[in-house]
Chains A and B, each alone.
Chain A
Amino acid sequence: MHRSPTLVLLAALGAATAVPRLSAAGSDDLVFEIRAQDGRFEPSELVVPANQPFTVHVTSAEKTAIEFESFELHRERVVQPGATITVLMPALGPGTYKFFDDFHHDTPEGAIVVK
Chain B
Amino acid sequence: MAVGRRTTLTVAVLAAAFAAVQCIRVAPSNPAPRGDLVAPPEVKVPLRRACFDCHSNETTWPWYSKVAPLSWVMARDVNRGRQRLNFSEWADYASDPETLKHKLDQIVESITRGDMAPWYYGVLHSDAQLNPHQRELIIHWATQEASSISP
Contact = CB atoms under 8 A, between A and B. Distances in A.
B99 A74 contact: yes
B95 A24 contact: yes
B92 interface: yes
What size tier do the contact residues of chain A reach? Answer: 10 to 19
Contacts of B93: 74
Given A71-B83, A74-B89, A23 B95 contact: yes
B103 interface: yes
Interface string A64-90: 000000010011111000000101111
B92 A77 contact: no
Contact of A88 (B35, B96, B102): B96
Give the interface SS of chain A, mostly helix, strand, loop or mixed: strand
B92 A85 contact: no
Nearest to A74: B92
A76 B102 contact: yes
Given A74-B89, A76-B103, 12 more contacts: A23-B91, A24-B95, A25-B95, A25-B96, A71-B83, A74-B86, A76-B102, A77-B98, A85-B98, A87-B99, A88-B97, A90-B92
B94 interface: yes
Contacts of B89: 74
Contacts of B96: 25-26, 74-75, 77, 87-89
A22 interface: yes
B151 to A, nearest CB: 10
Contacts of B102: 76-78
